[in-house]
Each structure stands twice: as C-alpha cells, then as structure tokens.
Amino acid sequence: MTDQPKQVGGGRRLFGYVAPKLAALTDDVLFDDVWNRPELSARDRSLITVAVLAAGGDTAQLEFYLGRAVENGVTEEELIEAITHVTFYAGWPKGMAAMGVAKKVFSE
C-alpha cells in the first residue's frame, strides 16, 4: 500500500496562528503519521473516517473528508451508500444531516 499519494494535513495553514500546537499535532501526528501508515490504504482510511464522522454527527468536518475521500478513490456512490448504512446504526438525524453535507459537496 505504499503506492498511494502521501496524505498531507492543512492544520498550520488553517489555524496555526491561533492554535499552533493543535495545528502541529494535526499535521505531524494525524496526517503525517496516522494517515500514512501502510496497514490501511488512504482509500480505506477515508471511508472509515467518513463513517465515523457521519455517526458522530460531525458535519463540519465531514465536508472536508468527503472531498478527501473522493481524492483517495472512494466514489460518490460508495460514500452515499456508507452514509445510508451508518444512518441505521447511528441514528436517522445524524444520517440525514450527513447526507445533506454529501449532497452539498457532490453538487459543487
């Protein structure tokens, strides 16, 4: 699984001036380390991340990660199916909110 593009975070660019430590942890630990571990592909990590964010109702982060998932090879159809599946385990309101984010992201 080393033939995949290196995953890079944007913490420092987004809020490094406000929260430099959180930005550094986001870029250096979450993305540079965790996202680039060879045990799972970036595609698989993206699908897992979208499912967890949808289940948790974290729609603000979901918008970014849906785009990242597509960049990592997950199709829009697969993401819609994942959100549909999560809806029945995490709750209807969370699933509907996540699907609203997906609709917005995929129509742009």
61: three-class secondary structure by DSSP: helix
Query: Are 46 and 68 within 8 A, CB to CB?
Result: yes
Q: Tell me the per-residue pLDDT of 64-78, one tens digit each, with 9 for 90 and over.
A: 999 999 999 999 999
**Average pLDDT across the chain, whole number:** 91
Q: Tell me the per-residue pLDDT of 35-60, one tens digit each, with 9 for 90 and over.
A: 889 999 999 999 999 999 999 999 99
Q: How far apart are the first and last CA of the chain?
A: 30
For residue 2, the model assigns a pLDDT of: 53
User: Rounded mean pLDDT of 74-95?
Assistant: 98
For residue 32, the model assigns a pLDDT of: 86
Cα–Cα distance for residue pair 69/61, rounded to 1 Å:
12
Share of the chain above pLDDT 70, in %: 95
Domains of the chain: 1-39 (no CATH), 40-108 (1.20.1290.10)
* Other beta carbons within 10 Å of 38: 8
With a cut of 90, say whether residue 101 has pLDDT above it.
Answer: yes
The secondary structure of residue 4, as a DSSP letter, is S
Cβ neighbours for 97, distance < 8 A, ≥ 6 positions apart:
57, 59
